[in-house]
Amino acid sequence: MRNRLERRYGHNHLHFITCSCYRRLPLLRTARARDVFLKVLDQVRTQCQFLLVGLVIMPEHFHLLMGESPSSNPSRVMQVLKQRVSRKLRHKRRKQPASAQLRVARAGGARPALFLAAALL
């Protein structure tokens, strides 16, 4: 089956873009996640020099109305935006170890019983 998607760039038109979160999970529901998204969007907008006309952020998706970048096309801009937001959100979430991991780290291998209890939790 042939891909019938046709992208038209270079005419200096506005582009309406809708993006969903991974598996439509509500990953943008917290204020912290939305703040990270807005900060990264501003960085990408400054770097790529595109016009941002409109923005709507919902818990599981977002809409952008954007102009074309003189240095890149909207597909590349969205790729950079989504990758950076994903990395920032995943990095902050991974920094906090689970309580079982803390107990194992504190035990330092000196108490096997504590290690076993932590592994079973």
Question: Quick one: how many helices (H) and strands (E) in the chain?
Answer: 4, 3
95-112 burial code (b ≥16 CB/10 A, e <16):
eeeeeeeebbeeeeeeee
* Residue 103 placed within a domain: no
In a domain, 34, yes or no: yes
Residue 111 within any structural domain of the chain? no
Q: Is residue 45 part of a domain?
A: yes
- Residue 60 in any domain: the answer is yes
Q: What are phi and psi of 59, to 5 degrees?
A: -60, -35
d(CA 106, CA 100): 10
pLDDT tens per residue across span 82-113: 999 999 998 865 555 555 555 555 555 554 44
We report the CATH number of the domain holding residue 53 as 3.30.70.1290
Number of domains in the chain: 1
pTM here is: 0.70
Give the pLDDT confidence of 10-66 residue by residue, as tens digits.
778 899 999 999 999 999 999 999 999 999 999 999 999 999 999 999 999 999 999
Give the span between the Cα atoms of 103 and 108, in whole angstroms: 9
Segments forming the whole domain that contains residue 60: 15-96
